[in-house]
């Protein structure tokens, strides 16, 4: 067994060894396979794009009447749109809305889903019944049509609003899954032992049960991010949500319905730029997912 | 019935193992799960493989059937069994046929070796079909007879799902699966581990009776010396992939030669006599990754350790009449 | 000291389409576990012995009867006080792997209860750390090796020792060991048993030993008492070695007969017998053991036997036809 050897603690009053830190361990797991590193790099690049992207360009992107629907070139690496604006600039500045809304949606999904699932599964009884009826109700709401309807009365200019609506309709499945796992975990010996030792309920829920669902929840977080991206880009593409800001969905919509990218090759770079961005991000998520299981599951992590 | 009872060596299937080495290939390196094992398993006897977890006892049993799966690999050696030849040369269809018709394997009662969604009878028919049994009625009749032989209601067992059977009944159902194709060699993996004492004794008694009636060659894998003492005629003691001692049960129990065997016997809490005589076995079970590659593998837990143990791996020397012991600390002549 | 009087526990019928009958798991069990004493419950799986252990540790409620902890009935106490008392009764479970959280290191597993204890006793973090090392050393483990490990990196015997160490963090008065060694390699069992014996002798911790292995029960509680339980009822009880040497109830005799005989070192008892068949749980006879009993007579099927003393050594049984029989093995003289 090649467990990490504790640093030498000569004096017994030094607190027990905490092993290696979570970050260091995660990095060790990620770098074990190059694909995981690639996944992480892609995710980080997109995250940076979302945070700093709009700062790299003026508020109103420059237009160029002489380079409308220009093909990719040195000056316009991804070509231009109907006004001669660089597609690269559009993809970069448009990332913030898309990614922020998706992150919000995923956070809502995971926090609500996990929280309600844990509570329901741990407390059982009446709480469980009530929470699960609410969950069933949420599960029956068709999220996408609801968004279409809501968009007629609600201004989705703020990504938080978009994220909130996507998240609030999406946590039902996760809550059900977390609940059933909690129900089986609470019967396990170590939970009974924790109760017998007089450990408080919050400790049992958050420190004994929750870590055992770590891989599942982290995976859900990433998968909900990509899911939310598809959903919002879809909404903009369909044009059911008014455009306020530049984003990938708006680009797709304009490329197809205004630029005629389906018929002429001219607007093709305009259509493909956001699509490639989405594909790349999904690829990054998929590559990275593989590392999560090991990060959260000590049995798989046995030092290689 | 005891160990000194004569058996006829000409009938039934004996097994001859020569220089068998099995390695496990993992991320952490290549480890020998069995190293240079040579052993004769006598026909029509009950032989016991005993050892702690990690001793290689299950690996040895699987190797006998040529059923080692990745990451394990049979690196070298030969295993002859009467009527089949070298099992390690078989593959594909002929190997599959040997499993079931020559070798019957009984899984641990605790393991879920039965399909939870199918009735026992349906699973028996599947087994029959995969071995080309033309008439399923003969198979079911045989199974029913076996069930009744073991003190169960045959029809009830065949129409039950696994969860409807108690631990002891499930173990008996496992024995039906192993014997229904009339195997000559039956290998039982920890047949009583998950059972309580009464079921354990009942299952052991049934194994003994059926072994007698059918003239089988039986192999029992266990970590319980008590189970050995009850039923087995010859004991093979394994430690870290080596056979450290082998011999007839009674003689081995009365005069254990290897310090490990002695430790195992001393570690049994006894129902009568002086409790102070029971002594816990020191140290931890062997871990394949940390087993020394040079010298005796048991030396760290050994009371007879001497300098030579660090350098030279001991060779097998005769003991218990026709048995053997592998230890520097015992003199072959005493 | 724990006193249990006429304990009854019934598991309610399961609802749904397939209605099942309510199961009475414990039927009027009484016993006393003195301070630093040992009581063993022996019986087959499903006889109710596990339920008794779970009731004592507060994991399960009971329907009627009384459980007194140092003379106090906890059901009448407010829940905070009850929890406080119950902490002193710790359960050692059968499967040490399930009893440890796979996603937490041994250090974290021990620190959680120690943090509570430190708060209660106003102790420092350093006290917690030294106490964690202390309990591990007490159960025979090397703290520096074990603390940073996850449960899957330890052997079965080491895991069970960690479980015992965790129970010791709350300084218990009673350990309820429910089949605590049955999933551990036989070679390592004696180590755990002698650890339990040491906790009894040196630290005054009483042990309720629940098992199907009479020899293990004898090792931990040779001077204690054994209760043989069959289908929720104690059918025979007495001082350990007395009951082992001269059991009078046929069920005790069957259980004791089932202990493997080390042929060559021991001779089987002259009256040894082992029932081979599998039986229905409840066949409706007055004496529940009658369908499996080789000595049963008509009276056993119609008239329920009551608990009566046998001799005057505190030996009691529940059988119409008690006969002391020698069923356990006897040691042989071996000249090697």
- Range ranked top by mean pLDDT from A113-127, A246-260, B145-159, B229-243: B229-243
**C247 and C308 together in one domain:** yes
Q: In this predicted structure, what is the pLDDT of residue A1? A: 38
| CATH among 3.40.1190.20, 3.40.50.10490, 3.40.50.300, 3.30.2090.10 for B15-102+183-242 | 3.40.50.300
Q: A120-129, A264-273, C66-75: which range is least confident on average? A: A264-273
Task: State percent of chain A over pLDDT 90.
Answer: 8
Q: In this predicted structure, what is the pLDDT of residue B334? A: 47
- Range ranked top by mean pLDDT from A5-9, B246-250, C8-12: B246-250
For residues C229-239, average pLDDT: 93
**C142 and C220 together in one domain:** no
Task: Residue C151: name the closest of C183, C103, C184 by CA.
Answer: C103
Q: A11-15, B294-298, C124-128, C330-334: which range is least confident on average? A: A11-15
Report the alpha-carbon angle B68-B73-B78, nearest 5. Answer: 80
A17 and chain C: CB distance < 8 Å anywhere? Answer: yes
Read off the pLDDT band of C279 (50, 70, 90).
Answer: low
Task: Residue B301: name the closest of B276, B321, B282, B322 by CA.
Answer: B282
Contact A1 B287 (CB under 8 A): yes
Determine contact, residues C312/B236, Cβ cutoff 8 Å.
no
Task: Residue C182: name the closest of C217, C149, C136, C153 by CA.
Answer: C217
Q: Which of A18, A197, A202, A302 to mutate to test the interface with C (most CBs of C within 10 A)?
A: A197
Indicate the domain borders of chain B. Answer: 15-102+183-242
The CATH classification number of A32-57+75-280 equals 1.10.3720.10
Sheet holding C23-33, edge to edge: C23-33, C2-11, C64-69, C72-73
Q: How far is C96 from chain B (nearest CA, A)?
A: 15
Which chains contact C through at least 3 pairs of Cβ atoms less than 8 Å apart?
A, B
For residues B29-44, average pLDDT: 90
Which residues on A lie below 8 Å from B287 (Cβ)?
1
Closest-CA residue of B relative to A1 is B289
pLDDT of C42 over the 90 cut:
yes
Q: CB-CB: which of A6, A196, A211 is closest to C103?
A: A211
Q: In this predicted structure, what is the pLDDT of residue A55? A: 79
Measuring CA to CA, how many Å separate C298 from each of C290, C303, C323?
Answer: 9, 9, 17
| pTM summary value | 0.84
Contact C132 A16 (CB under 8 A): yes
Q: In this predicted structure, what is the pLDDT of residue A28? A: 84
B284 and chain A: CB distance < 8 Å anywhere? Answer: no
Q: How far apart are CA C112 and CA B83, in angstroms?
A: 61
Q: In this predicted structure, what is the pLDDT of residue A244? A: 66
Q: What is the 3-state secondary structure (H, E, C) of chain C?
A: CEEEEEEEEEECCCCCCCCCCCEEEEEEEEEEECCCCEEEEECCCCCCHHHHHHHHCCCCCCCEEEEEECCEEHHHCCHHHHHHHHCCEEEECCCCCCCCCCCCCHHHHHHHHHHHHHHHHCCCHHHHHHHHHHHHHHCCCCHHHHCCCCHHHCCHHHHHHHHHHHHHCCCCCEEEEECCCCCCCHHHHHHHHHHHHHHHHHHCCEEEEEECCHHHHHHHCCCCEEEEEECCEEEEEEEHHHHHHCCCCHHHHHHHHCCCCCECCEECCCCCCCCCCCCCCCCCCCCCCHHHCCCCCHHHHHCCCCCEECCCCCCEECCCCCCCCCCCCEECCCCC
Q: How far apart are CA A121 and CA A128, in angstroms?
A: 7
Q: Which of C152, C171, C190 is the last residue of a domain?
A: C171
Which chains contact B through at least 3 pairs of Cβ atoms less than 8 Å apart?
A, C
Which residues on B lie below 8 Å from A1 (Cβ)?
287, 289-290
pLDDT of A33 over the 50 cut:
yes
Q: How far apart are the first and last CA of chain C?
A: 46
Q: CB-CB: which of A18, A190, A194 is closest to C107?
A: A18
Task: State percent of chain C over pLDDT 70.
Answer: 95
**C182 and C310 together in one domain:** yes
**C162 and C214 together in one domain:** no
Which chains contact A through at least 3 pairs of Cβ atoms less than 8 Å apart?
B, C
Q: Which of C84, C88, C148 to mutate to test the interface with A (most CBs of A within 10 A)?
A: C148
**C194 and C113 together in one domain:** no
Average pLDDT, chain A: 79
Contact C148 A4 (CB under 8 A): yes
- Kindly report, residue by residue over B54-82, the tens digit of the pLDDT: 888 999 999 999 988 888 889 999 999 98
- Top-confidence residue, A155 or B184: B184
Question: Which CATH number does the domain housing residue C46 bear?
Answer: 3.40.50.300
Q: CB-CB: which of C100, C130, C143 is closest to A190?
A: C100
Contact A2 B287 (CB under 8 A): no
- Kindly report, residue by residue over C76-85, the tens digit of the pLDDT: 888 888 888 8
Q: How far is A123 from chain C (nearest CA, A)?
A: 15
Two tokens, residue B144: 């029913």
Phi, psi of C69 (to 5 degrees): -100, 110
Which residues on A lie below 8 Å from C163 (Cβ)?
193
pLDDT of A202 over the 60 cut:
yes
Phi, psi of A2 (to 5 degrees): -100, 60
Residue C120 falls inside a structural domain: yes
pLDDT of C297 over the 50 cut:
yes
Determine contact, residues C211/B269, Cβ cutoff 8 Å.
no
pLDDT of B142 over the 60 cut:
yes
Determine contact, residues B269/B278, Cβ cutoff 8 Å.
yes
Q: How far is A304 from chain B (nearest CA, A)?
A: 6
Q: In this predicted structure, what is the pLDDT of residue A97? A: 81
Q: How far apart are CA A173 and CA A180, in angstroms?
A: 11
Which residues on C lie below 8 Å from B170 (Cβ)?
none
**C211 and C323 together in one domain:** yes
Q: CB-CB: which of C87, C107, C152 is closest to A299?
A: C152
Count of the separate structural domains present in chain C: 2
Contact C331 B273 (CB under 8 A): yes
Q: How far apart are CA C89 and CA C86, in angstroms?
A: 5
Which residues on B lie below 8 Å from A29 (Cβ)?
none
Q: A77-81, A233-237, B21-25, C226-230: which range is least confident on average? A: A77-81
Question: What is the domain range of residue C30?
Answer: 2-88+172-331
pLDDT of B6 over the 50 cut:
no
**C190 and C298 together in one domain:** yes
Q: How far is B246 from chain C (nearest CA, A)?
A: 16
For residues B157-165, average pLDDT: 85
Which residues on C lie below 8 Å from A199 (Cβ)?
112-113, 116
Closest-CA residue of B relative to C334 is B254
**C229 and C300 together in one domain:** yes
**C282 and C136 together in one domain:** no
Which residues on A lie below 8 Å from C81 (Cβ)?
none
Q: In this predicted structure, what is the pLDDT of residue B304? A: 86
Q: How far is B286 from chain A (nearest CA, A)?
A: 11
For residues B182-191, average pLDDT: 89
Q: What is the 3-state secondary structure (H, E, C) of chain A?
A: CCCCCCCCCCCCCCCCCCCCCHHHHHHHHHHCCHHHHHHHHHHHHHHHHHHHHHHHCCCCCCCCHHHCCCCCCCCCCCCECCCCCEHHHHHHHHHHHHHHHHHHHHHHHHHHHHHHHHHHHHHCHHHHHHHHHHHHHHHHCCHHHHHHHHHHHCCCCCHHHHHHHHHHCCCHHHHHHHHHHHHHHCCCHHHHHHHHCCCCHHHHHHHHHHHHHHHHHHHHHHHHHHHHHHHHHHHHHHCCCCCCCCCHHHHHHHHHHHCCCCCCCCCHHHHHHHHHHHHHHHHHHHHHHHHHHHHHCHHHHCCC
Q: A84-98, B143-157, B317-331, C171-185: which range is least confident on average? A: A84-98
Q: CB-CB: which of A3, A197, A208 is closest to C148?
A: A3
Contact A6 C144 (CB under 8 A): yes
Q: How far is B54 from chain A (nearest CA, A)?
A: 13
Q: A86-90, A182-186, B22-26, C64-68: which range is least confident on average? A: A86-90
Which residues on B lie below 8 Å from A302 (Cβ)?
27-28
Determine contact, residues A143/A231, Cβ cutoff 8 Å.
yes
Q: How far apart are CA C106 and CA B200, in angstroms?
A: 34
Task: Residue B52: name the closest of B322, B310, B301 by CA.
Answer: B301
Q: How far apart are CA B203 and CA B175, in angstroms?
A: 10
Closest-CA residue of C relative to A299 is C152
Which residues on B lie below 8 Å from A2 (Cβ)?
28, 289
Q: Which of A1, A299, A301 to mutate to test the interface with B (most CBs of B within 10 A)?
A: A1
pLDDT of A207 over the 50 cut:
yes
Q: What is the 3-state secondary structure (H, E, C) of chain B?
A: CCCCCCCCCCCCCCEEEEEEEEEEEECCEEEEEEEEEEEEECCCCEEEEECCCCCCHHHHHHHHCCCCCCCEEEEEEEEEECCCEEHHHCCHHHHHHHHHHCEEEECCCCCCCCCCCCCHHHHHHHHHHHCCCCCHHHHHHHHHHHHHHCCCCHHHHHCCCHHHCCHHHHHHHHHHHHHCCCCCEEEEECCCCCCCHHHHHHHHHHHHHHHHHHCCEEEEEECCHHHHHHHCCEEEEEECCEEEEEEEHHHHHHCCCCHHHHHHHHCCCCCCCCHHHCCCCCCCCCCCCCCCCCCCCCHHHCCCCCHHHHHCCCCCEEECCCEEECCCCCCCCC
Task: State percent of chain B over pLDDT 90.
Answer: 32
pLDDT of A261 over the 70 cut:
no
Q: CB-CB: which of C157, C255, C260 is closest to B226?
A: C260
pLDDT of C336 over the 60 cut:
no
Q: Which of C38, C157, C187, C294 to mutate to test the interface with B (most CBs of B within 10 A)?
A: C187
Read off the pLDDT band of A13 (50, 70, 90).
Answer: very low
For residues C200-207, average pLDDT: 94
Using a 10 angstrom Cβ sphere, with 0-12 exposed, 13-18 middle and 19 or more buried, the burial of residue C76 is exposed
Indicate the domain borders of chain A. Answer: 32-57+75-280
For residues B166-186, average pLDDT: 84
pLDDT of A4 over the 50 cut:
no
Closest-CA residue of A relative to B291 is A1
pLDDT of C191 over the 80 cut:
yes
Task: Residue A20: name the closest of A7, A1, A36, A2 by CA.
Answer: A7
Q: CB-CB: which of C44, C158, C264 is closest to B253?
A: C264
pLDDT of C305 over the 60 cut:
yes
Q: Give the C window 111-170 contacts with A, CB below 8 Å.
A: 111-113, 116, 125-126, 128-130, 132-133, 143-144, 147-150, 152-153, 163, 166-167, 169-170
Q: How far apart are CA A158 and CA B250, in angstroms?
A: 84
Two tokens, residue A181: 């796992």
Read off the pLDDT band of B2 (50, 70, 90).
Answer: very low
ipTM score for this prediction: 0.85
pLDDT of A181 over the 50 cut:
yes
Two tokens, residue B203: 């299952």
Read off the pLDDT band of C184 (50, 70, 90).
Answer: confident
Phi, psi of C177 (to 5 degrees): -100, 105
Which residues on A lie below 8 Å from B289 (Cβ)?
1-2
Determine contact, residues B242/B207, Cβ cutoff 8 Å.
no
Q: Which of C155, C171, C187 is the last residue of a domain?
A: C171
Q: What is the 3-state secondary structure (H, E, C) of A63-95?
A: CCHHHCCCCCCCCCCCCECCCCCEHHHHHHHHH
For residues B124-144, average pLDDT: 86
Contact A4 C163 (CB under 8 A): no
Return the residue matching tokens 């969905």: A249
Contact B250 C222 (CB under 8 A): no
Q: How far apart are CA B19 and CA B22, in angstroms?
A: 10
Task: Give the number of other Cβ atoms within 10 Å of residue A67's Cβ.
Answer: 18
Q: How far is C29 from chain A (nearest CA, A)?
A: 23
Using a 10 angstrom Cβ sphere, with 0-12 exposed, 13-18 middle and 19 or more buried, the burial of residue A175 is buried
Q: A10-19, C70-79, C163-172: which range is least confident on average? A: A10-19
């Amino acid at each position: 067994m090649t467990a990490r050897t504790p640093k030498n603690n000569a004096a017994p009053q030094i607190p027990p060894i905490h092993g290696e830190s979570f970050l260091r361990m995660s990095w060790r797991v990620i770098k074990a396979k190059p694909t995981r590193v690639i996944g992480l790099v892609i995710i980080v690049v997109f995250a940076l794009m979302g945070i700093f992207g709009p700062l790299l360009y003026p508020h109103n992107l420059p237009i160029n009447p002489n380079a409308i629907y220009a093909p990719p070139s040195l000056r316009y690496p991804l070509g231009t749109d109907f006004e001669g604006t660089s597609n690269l600039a559009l993809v970069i500045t448009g990332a913030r809305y898309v990614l922020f809304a998706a992150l919000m949606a995923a956070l809502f999904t995971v926090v609500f889903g996990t929280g309600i699932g844990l509570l329901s599964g741990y407390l059982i009884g009446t709480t469980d019944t009530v929470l699960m009826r609410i969950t069933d109700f949420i599960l029956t709401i068709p999220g996408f049509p609801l968004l279409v309807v809501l968009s007629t009365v609600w201004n989705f200019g703020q990504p938080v609003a978009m994220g909130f609506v996507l998240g609030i309709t999406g946590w039902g499945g996760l809550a059900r899954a977390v609940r059933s796992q909690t129900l089986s975990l609470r019967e396990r010996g170590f939970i009974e032992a924790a109760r017998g030792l007089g450990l408080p309920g919050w400790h049992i829920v958050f420190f004994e049960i929750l870590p055992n669902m770590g891989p599942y929840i982290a995976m859900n977080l990433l998968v909900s991010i990509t899911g939310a991206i598809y959903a919002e880009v879809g909404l903009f593409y369909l044009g059911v949500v008014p455009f306020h800001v530049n984003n990938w969905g708006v680009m797709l919509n304009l490329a197809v319905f205004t630029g005629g990218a389906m018929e002429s090759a001219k607007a093709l770079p305009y259509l493909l730029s956001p699509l490639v961005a989405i594909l790349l991000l999904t690829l990054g998520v998929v590559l990275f997912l593989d590392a999560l299981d090991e990060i959260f599951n000590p049995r798989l992590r046995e030092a290689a | 019935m005891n160990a000194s009872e004569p058996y006829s060596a000409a009938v039934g299937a004996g097994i001859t193992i020569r220089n068998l080495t099995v390695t496990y290939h993992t991320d952490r390196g290549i480890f020998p799960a069995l190293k240079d094992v040579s052993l004769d398993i006598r026909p029509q006897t009950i032989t016991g493989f005993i050892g702690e977890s990690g001793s290689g006892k299950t690996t040895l049993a699987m190797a006998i059937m040529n059923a080692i799966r990745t990451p394990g690999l049979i690196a070298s050696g030969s295993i002859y069994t009467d009527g089949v030849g070298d099992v390690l040369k078989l593959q594909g269809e002929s190997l599959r046929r040997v499993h079931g018709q020559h070798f019957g394997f009984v899984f641990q009662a605790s393991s879920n070796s039965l399909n939870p969604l199918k009735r026992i009878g349906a699973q028996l028919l599947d087994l029959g079909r995969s071995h080309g049994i033309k008439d399923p009625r003969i198979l079911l009749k045989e199974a029913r007879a076996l069930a009744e032989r073991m003190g169960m209601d045959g029809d009830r067992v065949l129409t039950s799902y696994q969860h409807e059977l108690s631990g002891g009944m499930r173990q008996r159902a496992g024995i039906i699966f192993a014997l229904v194709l009339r195997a000559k060699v039956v290998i039982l993996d920890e047949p009583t581990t998950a059972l309580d004492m009464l079921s354990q004794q009942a299952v052991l008694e049934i194994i003994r009776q059926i072994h007698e009636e059918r003239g089988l060659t039986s192999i029992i894998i266990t970590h319980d010396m008590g189970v050995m003492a009850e039923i087995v005629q010859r004991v093979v003691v394994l430690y870290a992939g080596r056979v450290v001692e082998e011999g007839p049960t009674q003689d081995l129990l009365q005069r254990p030669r290897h310090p490990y065997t002695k430790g195992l016997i001393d570690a049994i809490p006894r129902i009568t006599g002086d409790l102070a005589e029971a002594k816990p076995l020191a140290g931890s079970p062997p871990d394949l990754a940390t087993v020394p590659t040079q010298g005796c593998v048991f030396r760290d837990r050994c009371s007879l350790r001497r300098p030579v143990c660090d350098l030279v791996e001991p060779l097998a020397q005769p003991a218990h009449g026709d048995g053997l012991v592998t230890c520097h600390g015992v003199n072959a002549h005493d | 000291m724990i006193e249990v009087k006429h304990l009854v526990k019934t598991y309610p019928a399961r609802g749904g389409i397939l209605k099942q009958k309510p199961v009475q798991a414990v039927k009027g069990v009484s016993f006393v576990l003195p301070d630093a004493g040992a009581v063993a419950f022996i019986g087959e799986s499903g006889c109710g012995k596990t339920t008794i252990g779970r009731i004592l540790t507060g994991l399960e409620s009971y329907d009627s009867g009384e459980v007194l902890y140092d003379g106090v009935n906890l059901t009448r106490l407010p829940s905070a006080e009850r929890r406080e008392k119950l902490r002193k009764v710790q359960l050692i479970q059968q499967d040490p792997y399930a009893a440890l959280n796979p996603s937490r290191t041994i250090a974290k597993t021990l620190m959680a209860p120690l943090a509570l204890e430190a708060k209660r006793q106003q102790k420092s973090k350093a006290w917690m750390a030294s106490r964690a090392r202390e309990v591990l050393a007490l159960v025979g483990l090397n703290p520096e090796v074990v603390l940073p490990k996850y449960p899957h990196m330890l052997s079965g015997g080491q895991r069970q020792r960690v479980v015992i160490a965790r129970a010791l963090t709350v300084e218990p008065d009673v350990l309820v060991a429910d089949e605590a060694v049955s999933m551990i390699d036989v070679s390592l069992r004696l180590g755990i048993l002698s650890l339990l014996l040491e906790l009894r002798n040196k630290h005054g911790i009483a042990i309720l030993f629940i098992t199907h292995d009479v020899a293990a029960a004898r090792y931990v509680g040779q001077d204690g008492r054994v209760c043989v339980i069959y289908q929720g009822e104690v059918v025979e009880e007495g001082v350990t070695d007395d009951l082992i040497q001269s059991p009078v109830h046929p069920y005790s005799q069957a259980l004791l007969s089932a202990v493997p005989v080390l042929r060559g070192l021991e001779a089987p008892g002259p009256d040894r017998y082992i029932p081979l068949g599998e039986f229905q749980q409840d066949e409706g006879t007055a004496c529940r053991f009658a369908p499996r009993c080789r000595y049963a007579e008509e009276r056993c099927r119609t008239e329920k036997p009551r608990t009566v003393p046998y001799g005057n050594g505190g030996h009691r049984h529940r059988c119409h036809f008690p006969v002391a029989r020698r069923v356990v093995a006897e040691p042989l003289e071996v000249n090697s």
